[in-house]
Structure formats: structure tokens, C-alpha cells
């Protein structure tokens, strides 16, 4: 069938004639009300089988004035009929008129807008016995010639069991998010070779704007959670739904879902993960630059932001035992990041990735599996010191989007090939599990094994009023984004506390000020590295210190003055910093010794160190990467000592790889071993991105029918999608037209 080119097939008829099956299709090829807009003339096609595995196609030679906008079609014996909207009538065609212009007989006109048509034989023929009259299917029987096969209702989560008759609820399966639907692929054993059922539609959104991207399953309560970037919500429903007997009530029951509550609206959530033991749903929002948490404790569903101001966060996973969240970023520092659930100890643990799209924590091996969309590789790292374990590759992959594992094999979705694959851990074999999808994104594997006991946040010892977060040494309490933590660090309140003012998921540790002495005065100031938040602490003299800061280092400060300290490089952890101010009156004795040294007058210098320029020296990103490697081969710096050329190397203060950005300083040095002298050359560079973005998805040419008197039609289209070596969030996308009437 794929060889038959159709544009707008309106009618289809299947008839049996002399023991042979005939299929008729009418195609209006209609774009709008103007004849010049026809891409191809409308047609009527006869599809006849040459064998069980092949078909032949023949188009009727119908005069163009007698076929304008064909809609319905039917046939009987050697005659066929079709309805035509523009002719407002029914046209009869002689199917034996191939090789010459078809015999046409107009039967009826002035029918306005005729659509469907069906020929009814007045002579009752003995019907063929329906094989489904004595079927054994638990739900739906589908006849197939003299036999039948069993099927399960859509949107229920049911699949055909190993007996081929009963619809069952599989325990071991793979979930796939695929634009407007969620697919379930059973992975149960026991099926005969070649009889494992294909994916079933677990849920199909009725909303035409749906774009389901993230998905996760809760085996404790039986909920499937998904993110829909098209309608901007995270929702859930029970994975298995029994279809009601009343067919009129089926859509309401099978398509029902519950929207999760948020403080802020979501932007683009491409990955979800779940702490089953402590009832916490975690996700990344690349549009808002956040890592967020939703508490799912019964009667306590609350939303909080765990990390903000991140650069294009993408994949996310977690380790509930150690109380850590891992996620990938595609921004200025692509790689794997980690933090505690409360936002503490945030740091990059695996740097120098290209496009880290997905991440998964394998609790059975304590390994983290990373999928990189650019290099099309899967790599694994230990979750303790993040040492690389092994690298996995799959030759047929083009754009990895999501990875997961069942402990023995790895699974991944391919956005470009529109498929889901499985590959063994030793990469000795691999296969395509699902194909011909729309645009698969996140996938989730459910093992069906018994889960562990409840986590610490589900015990009766928890004293948190709203959100409980597991920690390495117990648990921490946190507040939703619209509330504040009280001084007992357990209760969330609507007003700021009288003693401590802060908004953070990180716990606060109260510091004790040292007693004042006659020899020195010590004042302790506590604050948080949370931007634009005023934090107040009161000392013994009721002096209030208010700071509005982003992230600062700490040091000894003289004379009890608040110093202006430079921001910490890449400081992202929300934690407590203590500044101690010490003023001492003790004097210090200094001894001075004069030393006279005579040296030879040897000139040691750089011969071509660039001078400072306002715009800097332009340096391009390495091809296909998000960074530029800094080495002397790109600058050709030379240095000499008394005419002897010295080796020029990058200083330790200059990173080996730099991202795109303005006004970055690099420094090189040369060492003369004879005089034991080191000279430096520092200058400013400007790393620019010259690699164009890549189109991932672009809608094909659209031809829209219009039957309005003004020849207009409302047109909308799926949004194109792009990718860039620096991440899609860096792209500025504009449209020449908005959806509407054309």
C-alpha cells in the first residue's frame, strides 16, 4: 500500500467479485476552492490483489469535468459509483473500461453535499458464517477470513495474554510517550515465537494540541504520570481501566485523568522520575530552568522548586537511598549534575558532554546510564565517584532521546528514526522493539518485582507539615514555593518568621556567636546563597544585618566591615555560609633582611603576546561541540630567553575547554630553567558559535479543503522542532504567520 500515492482519500469500498477481493478508493486531491490549486487531478483507483502479499493499482480514465471532488464510493459486480461534492450528484463508472475513456452515466443531481454511498443487493445471498459467533475472546473478536483473532479495548492497558484469548494486565512492560498518546509494550515471557503482541494504546489524548513528552509509572498506587507540553500540565490516571458496559460512557471513563497542582505554570517538561518509597515526583523544566518536586503523600500533594536558574535541564533520575537527584543539562556546562533533595551540595559530576539528553539510575548496579543525543552513545558511571564503567554504542541510532534498563539490557528511544530499540549490556546484540511511531520521547521500564518498604518520609516519625525530603542522615522538611519555613524547621507558614527569613529547600543550622573579649571582637553572620532573598540574624546588641546577595565566598574581614566579595565560580549550591569577623589589637614584629643579588641581563619575553582589544580575539567552537579547546596551536604564541625559544603552555588557571561567551581571559606561560623564571601572557578572547541549527521536524506540505463561500479555511499546523549544538533553548524562533484563517 505504501506505493499508492494519496493526498485526500475520502472514500473506500471493499467488494468481493467472482471470488476476488476488489478495493476502490476515490481521492479528491483537493486543496481549496480554486481549480488552479489542484496539485494532481482527482482520481478513482482500483486496487486488486495479485497475491496474498502484493497488490496492483489502476486509475480510471475519467473525464475531468465528471470528477471534481469525489467523496464516497461503492461497487457491485462490474459497476461502481461515487458521489461528488462539487457536481452535487452520483457518478457511475464501468470498471471494465480500462484502455479507453470510462463509460460515465450521471444518475442523480442536486443532492447538495453527498458523502457516503453503499450498494444494497435486493437478492438475499447466503451470508458467510461469521467465525466470531463462537469465539472465546475475553473482550473483542476480530474476524479474519474463516478464522478470528482476539483484541483488547484501547485506552485500558490490557494486552492479549500468552493464550491469545484472554486480555491480561502485564507486570513487566515498557511505556513510551509518543506525542498525543502513551504506548504500552508487554515484555512478558511465555509467548510463542513471533506471537508477542505489539504495543497497545494505553492512553490517547483527545486534545489536538497534546505533546506528551515525559512519563513514569508508580507501581505502588498504579498511576501513570505524564507531562504534556502542548496543553501545559502534568497528569495521572490508573494504568488499568475496565471499560464500562455502556458504550456511550466509554470515552468519559477511558479518557479521564487528574491534573497535578502547581504553584507556577510549567513550560517544557521532557522527563519525569519517581521516588516510590517516599512518594515524590521529580522533573526538570528546560523552559523555566528548574528541577521541581511534587509530594504525593496521601492528603499532602504539594509542589516546590528544588533548583532554579539551571541551563536547559533535560533528563532526570534519583537515588532515594542516598537522597540524591541527578539530572542532565545542555546549557553552558553540559553534563550530569547532582544535588541532595533539599538543594544542598549541588555540583557537576560528569562534565564535557555534548548533548546529554537522558539519564537513568540503575539501583541494581549502582550505576548511572547517560544517553547523549549528539554522539549517539550510551555511557555508564558509578554513582559514588562517577568513574566511567563502560561505553555503549548502537549503530542504527540517530538521535537518542531517552534511555532506561532492565538490568540485563538497555532500552532507548530514537527521535529521528521514530523507534524504540533494545541492546544487550555487552553490546553483542540489539534489535528494534517498536517502529513506525510518531515521535517517541521518554520511555519507562517496569520490572513487576515487589517494591521495597516505605521510605522514611512515609513513617509516623515525620513531623513535616507539608513536604518531607529524604536525606543521608534522615529527612528534611521543605515548603511549597508560596509558603515559608518557620523557626522550628518543620512547619510552613504564610508569613515570614520573626527570627529567620528565608525561602529555600536547604535546612538552616543556627550558629552560636562567640563571647566578646577584650582582646578581640567576633561577630557571626549567617546567610544563604539564594538570590534576591533578605536574611536577617540578630546579635546580642540587636544589630540587624540584611544582605541581598547571589553567591559569595567567605573570608576573614577586618574592622567589622561587610566586604564586597567576588561571586564563587559556578556556585549553585543552596547552602549556609558563615562569615566570622575578627578584630585583634595584638601588634606584630617584622624583621627585614637586605640581600644583594647580581644576575646577567638576559631578556625573557613573549615575542607576540596579543595586546588587549575591546572585542577580544575571535575563536570558533570546535566543530560539533559546545566548547573550544584552548591550546597554543590556535594562537601560535612564541617566547624566548636570550634568543633560545621556550615552550609555551596553558596555565593551570585557564580551563582546557571554554564555552561560548564574551570577554573570557586566557593565560599562557613560558618557563626558563636556566634563570628559574616564568613569564606570562594573558589576553582576552571571544568564543563564538558558527554552527547553524538543525531541523529535527518540519511539517510537510499541507493541502487544506475549503467549502466556505469566501474560499477560506482555518489552518493550524504542528510546530516545527529544531536542535542546536548549544541546545534548542538558545534559538530565537519566529513565524511568518500564526495559525488562523487563510
Write down the CATH number for the domain with range 137-446.
Answer: 2.120.10.30
The mean pLDDT of the chain is 76
On whether the CB atoms of residues 315 and 402 are closer than 8 A, the answer is yes
**Mean pLDDT for the stretch of residues 344-368:** 88
Sequence-distant (≥ 6) Cβ neighbours of residue 668 within 8 angstroms: 632, 635, 637, 648, 649, 650, 651, 654, 680, 681, 682
In 3D space, the residue among 618, 650, 605 whose CA is nearest the CA of residue 632 turns out to be 650
Q: Enter the pTM of the model.
A: 0.58
208 confidence band (pLDDT: 50, 70, 90): confident
On whether the CB atoms of residues 323 and 340 are closer than 8 A, the answer is yes
13 confidence band (pLDDT: 50, 70, 90): confident
- The cell numbers describing 446, all together, are 517496569
On whether the CB atoms of residues 394 and 412 are closer than 8 A, the answer is yes
**Mean pLDDT for the stretch of residues 202-227:** 92
Model pLDDT, residue 134: 84
**Mean pLDDT for the stretch of residues 218-234:** 93
Residue 65 backbone dihedrals phi, psi, to 5 degrees: -75, -10
- The cell numbers describing 185, all together, are 509494550
pLDDT at 374 over 90: no
> Rounded to 5 degrees, what angle do the CA atoms 327, 329, 332 make?
150
pLDDT at 554 over 90: no
Model pLDDT, residue 368: 92
On whether the CB atoms of residues 270 and 213 are closer than 8 A, the answer is yes
On whether the CB atoms of residues 81 and 119 are closer than 8 A, the answer is yes
Q: Which three-class secondary structure state does DSSP give residue 74? A: strand
- The cell numbers describing 22, all together, are 476488489
- The enclosing H or E element of 564 equals none
pLDDT digits (tens, 9 = 90+) for 597-626: 444 467 888 888 887 655 568 888 877 666
**Mean pLDDT for the stretch of residues 427-438:** 86
Beta bridge partners of 27: 9, 43
Model pLDDT, residue 202: 92
pLDDT at 112 over 90: no
C-alpha distance from residue 129 to each of 107, 126, 134 (Å): 35, 9, 10
Count of CA atoms in the C-beta half-sphere (13 A) of 263: 14
Model pLDDT, residue 548: 32
pLDDT digits (tens, 9 = 90+) for 649-686: 988 767 777 777 656 778 899 998 888 888 988 888 88
Model pLDDT, residue 226: 96
On whether the CB atoms of residues 199 and 166 are closer than 8 A, the answer is no
Count of CA atoms in the C-beta half-sphere (13 A) of 542: 0
- 9-109 under CATH 2.40.50.140, yes or no: no
**Mean pLDDT for the stretch of residues 58-83:** 83
- The cell numbers describing 100, all together, are 479507453
**Mean pLDDT for the stretch of residues 275-296:** 93
546 confidence band (pLDDT: 50, 70, 90): very low
User: Which stretch of 129-133, 272-276, 390-394 has the lowest confidence by average pLDDT?
Assistant: 390-394
Residue 249 backbone dihedrals phi, psi, to 5 degrees: -100, 0
CA 103 – CA 557 distance, rounded (Å): 101
**Mean pLDDT for the stretch of residues 554-576:** 31
On whether the CB atoms of residues 271 and 402 are closer than 8 A, the answer is yes
524 confidence band (pLDDT: 50, 70, 90): very low
To the nearest whole percent, how much of the chain has pLDDT over 70? 73
User: Which stretch of 26-40, 167-181, 288-302, 619-633 has the lowest confidence by average pLDDT?
Assistant: 26-40
**Mean pLDDT for the stretch of residues 194-208:** 89
For the purposes of burial, counting CB atoms within 10 Å of the CB of 130, is it exposed (0-12), middle (13-18) or buried (19 or more)? Answer: exposed
18 confidence band (pLDDT: 50, 70, 90): low
pLDDT at 219 over 60: yes
Model pLDDT, residue 437: 93
User: Which stretch of 112-116, 168-172, 450-454, 558-562 has the lowest confidence by average pLDDT?
Assistant: 558-562
In the chain, where the domains are located: 9-109, 137-446, 513-584, 604-688, 692-742
Amino acid at each position: 500500500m505504501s506505493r499508492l500515492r494519496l493526498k485526500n482519500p475520502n472514500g473506500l469500498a471493499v467488494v468481493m467479485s467472482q471470488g476476488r477481493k476488489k478495493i476502490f478508493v476515490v481521492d479528491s486531491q483537493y486543496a481549496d476552492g480554486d481549480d488552479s490549486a489542484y496539485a494532481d487531478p482527482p482520481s478513482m483507483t482500483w486496487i486488486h490483489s495479485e497475491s496474498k502479499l502484493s497488490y496492483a493499482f489502476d486509475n480510471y480514465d475519467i473525464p475531468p469535468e465528471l470528477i471534481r471532488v469525489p467523496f464516497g464510493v461503492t461497487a457491485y459486480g462490474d459497476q461502481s459509483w461515487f458521489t461528488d461534492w462539487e457536481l452535487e450528484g452520483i457518478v457511475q463508472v464501468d470498471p471494465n473500461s480500462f484502455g479507453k475513456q470510462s463509460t460515465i452515466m450521471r444518475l442523480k443531481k442536486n443532492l447538495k453535499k453527498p458523502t457516503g454511498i453503499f450498494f444494497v443487493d435486493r437478492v438475499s445471498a447466503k451470508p458467510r458464517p461469521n467465525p466470531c459467533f463462537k469465539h472465546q475472546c475475553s473482550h473483542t473478536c476480530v474476524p479474519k477470513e474463516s478464522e478470528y483473532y482476539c483484541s483488547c479495548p484501547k485506552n485500558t492497558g490490557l494486552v492479549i495474554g500468552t493464550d491469545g484469548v484472554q486480555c491480561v494486565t502485564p507486570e513487566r512492560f515498557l511505556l513510551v510517550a509518543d506525542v498525543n498518546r502513551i504506548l504500552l509494550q508487554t515484555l512478558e515471557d511465555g509467548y510463542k515465537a513471533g506471537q508477542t503482541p505489539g504495543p497497545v494504546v494505553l492512553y490517547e489524548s483527545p486534545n489536538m494540541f497534546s505533546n506528551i513528552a515525559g512519563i513514569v509509572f508508580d507501581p505502588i498506587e498504579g498511576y501513570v504520570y505524564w507531562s504534556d507540553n502542548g496543553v501545559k500540565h502534568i497528569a495521572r490516571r490508573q494504568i488499568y481501566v475496565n471499560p464500562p458496559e455502556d458504550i456511550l460512557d466509554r470515552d468519559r471513563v477511558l479518557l479521564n485523568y487528574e491534573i497535578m497542582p502547581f504553584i507556577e505554570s510549567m513550560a517544557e517538561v521532557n522527563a519525569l522520575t519517581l521516588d516510590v518509597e517516599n512518594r515524590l515526583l521529580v522533573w526538570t523544566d528546560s523552559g523555566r530552568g528548574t528541577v521541581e518536586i511534587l509530594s504525593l503523600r496521601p492528603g499532602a500533594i504539594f509542589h516546590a522548586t528544588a533548583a532554579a536558574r539551571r541551563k536547559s535541564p533535560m533528563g532526570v533520575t534519583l537515588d532515594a537511598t542516598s537522597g540524591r537527584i541527578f539530572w542532565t543539562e545542555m546549557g553552558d556546562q553540559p553534563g550530569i549534575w547532582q544535588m541532595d533533595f533539599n538543594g544542598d551540595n549541588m555540583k557537576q559530576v560528569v562534565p564535557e558532554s555534548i548533548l546529554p539528553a537522558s539519564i537513568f539510575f540503575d539501583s541494581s548496579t549502582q550505576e548511572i546510564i547517560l544517553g547523549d543525543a549528539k554522539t549517539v552513545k550510551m555511557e555508564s558511571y558509578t554513582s559514588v565517584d562517577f568513574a566511567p564503567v563502560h561505553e555503549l554504542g548502537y549503530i542504527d541510532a540517530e538521535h537518542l532521546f531517552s534511555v532506561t534498563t532492565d538490568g540485563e539490557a538497555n532500552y532507548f528511544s530514537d527521535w529521528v528514526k521514530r523507534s524504540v530499540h533494545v541492546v544487550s549490556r555487552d553490546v553483542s546484540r540489539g534489535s528494534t522493539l517498536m517502529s513506525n511511531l510518531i515521535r517517541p520521547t521518554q520511555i519507562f521500564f517496569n520490572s513487576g518485582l515487589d517494591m521495597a518498604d516505605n521510605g522514611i518520609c512515609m513513617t509516623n516519625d515525620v513531623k513535616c507539615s507539608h513536604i518531607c525530603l529524604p536525606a543521608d542522615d534522615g529527612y528534611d522538611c521543605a515548603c511549597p514555593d508560596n509558603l515559608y519555613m518557620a523557626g522550628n524547621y518543620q512547619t510552613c507558614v504564610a508569613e515570614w518568621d520573626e527570627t529567620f527569613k528565608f525561602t529555600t529547600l536547604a535546612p538552616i543550622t543556627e550558629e552560636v556567636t562567640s563571647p566578646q573579649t577584650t582582646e578581640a571582637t567576633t561577630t557571626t553572620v549567617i546567610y544563604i546563597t539564594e538570590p534576591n532573598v533578605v536574611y536577617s540574624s540578630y546579635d546580642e546588641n540587636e544589630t540587624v544585618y540584611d544582605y541581598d546577595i547571589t553567591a559569595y565566598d567567605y573570608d576573614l574581614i577586618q574592622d567589622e566591615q561587610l566586604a564586597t566579595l567576588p561571586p564563587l565560580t559556578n556556585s549553585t549550591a543552596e547552602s549556609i555560609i558563615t562569615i566570622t569577623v575578627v578584630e585583634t589589637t595584638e601588634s606584630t614584629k617584622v624583621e627585614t633582611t637586605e640581600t644583594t643579588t647580581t644576575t646577567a641581563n638576559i631578556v625573557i619575553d613573549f615575542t607576540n603576546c596579543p595586546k588587549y582589544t575591546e572585542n577580544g580575539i575571535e575563536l570558533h567552537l570546535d566543530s560539533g561541540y559546545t566548547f573550544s579547546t584552548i591550546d597554543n596551536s590556535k594562537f601560535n604564541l612564541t617566547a624566548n630567553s636570550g634568543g633560545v625559544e621556550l615552550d609555551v603552555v596553558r596555565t593551570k588557571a585557564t580551563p582546557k575547554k571554554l564555552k561560548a561567551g564574551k570577554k573570557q581571559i586566557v593565560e599562557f606561560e613560558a618557563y626558563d630553567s636556566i634563570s628559574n623564571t616564568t613569564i606570562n601572557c594573558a589576553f582576552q578572547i571571544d568564543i563564538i558559535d558558527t554552527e547553524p541549527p538543525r531541523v529535527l521536524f518540519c511539517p510537510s506540505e499541507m493541502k487544506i479543503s475549503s467549502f466556505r463561500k469566501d474560499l477560506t479555511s482555518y489552518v493550524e499546523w504542528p510546530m516545527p522542532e529544531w536542535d542546536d549544538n548549544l541546545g534548542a533553548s538558545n534559538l530565537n524562533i519566529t513565524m511568518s504567520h500564526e495559525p488562523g484563517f487563510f
